[in-house]
Amino acid sequence: MEILGYSERGLINSLFYEVKCSKKKFDLINNMLALIAFPYQKEKISFNITKAKILIEQSFSDFGDADAVLLIENNNRKQIIFIEAKVKNCQRTCWNISKEFNKFEKGINENKVSSSNLFVQLYHKVRLIKALQNGSLNNLTNGINFPKCSSKRIRKIGNNQVVIKSVNECLNYFEESFFIALIPENMSELKYFYNNTLRNYSPSGFHDWDTKNWGYISWGQIEDFCRSNKFIGTLKNFEWNKGQIY
């Protein structure tokens, strides 16, 4: 039997299920997360995970879906890792983070930022965590103010019980959170962007904008990781989606 999934959702599902089914699951997830670059951290982040719960394509209502949420016990500390994934679809010749950033800035200037923009999605997750840190579920239930360029000025968590359950899970891990972009570009281009464009950037009106715990990893690195560890199922999904990922 073969199971083939479409685009980033198919790849992420296959990747994490293949990790879970391995006898070396914690070694694998430690090694994979070690590939992430955290350009604004003073010290290198190490991974020695002893427990993990992974939520795939989890909804957080007005705060958007997350392609993956990792709730982990790492080096005796509880942490959350949000992963937002972008792909190069078949109609594009490439996916460029600078163009994505320009769209974000244009949306701010025109008072209409897209909720599907990478930087908006990461910011939504930052605000979600800040709200939890500042007052448990009450802040999210009552609503959080967002910039005037946002498609929704007041964002709430809603009353969907699965969403509430996911937020309650996050309550046990929110003290240290990381926000990761999984994107098509190569690492040298990403390094240049994060060091020269995003560093010290702070958009006007974006309360609690904070990129200190932001990081990035490329799809090329993930495919190399899968090849090194003989993830046959995920490699077949890369082949199935050839031209669609990076």
pLDDT, tens digit, for every residue of 110-132? 999 999 999 999 999 999 999 99
Confidence of residue 175 (pLDDT cuts 50, 70, 90): confident
**Residue 165: its pLDDT value, please?**
96
Q: What is the pLDDT of residues 37-61, one digit of tens each?
A: 999 999 999 999 999 999 999 999 9
Is the pLDDT at 135 greater than 90? The verdict is no
Radius of gyration of the chain (CA): 18
For residue 217 the two structure tokens come to 């990893």
Q: Provide the b/e sequence for 111-141 (b: ≥16 CB within 10 Å).
A: eebeeebbbbbbbbbbbbbbbbeeeeeebbe
Looking at residue 167, its pLDDT comes to 96
Q: Tokens at residue 64, please? A: 């958007």
- The answer to whether the beta carbons of residues 184 and 95 sit under 8 Å apart is yes
Instruction: Give the mean pLDDT of 14-42.
Output: 97
204 pLDDT band, cuts 50/70/90, is very high
For the chain, the structural domain boundaries read 7-240
- Local confidence band at 139 (pLDDT 50, 70, 90 cut-offs): confident
Residues 215, 39 contacting (CB under 8 angstroms): yes
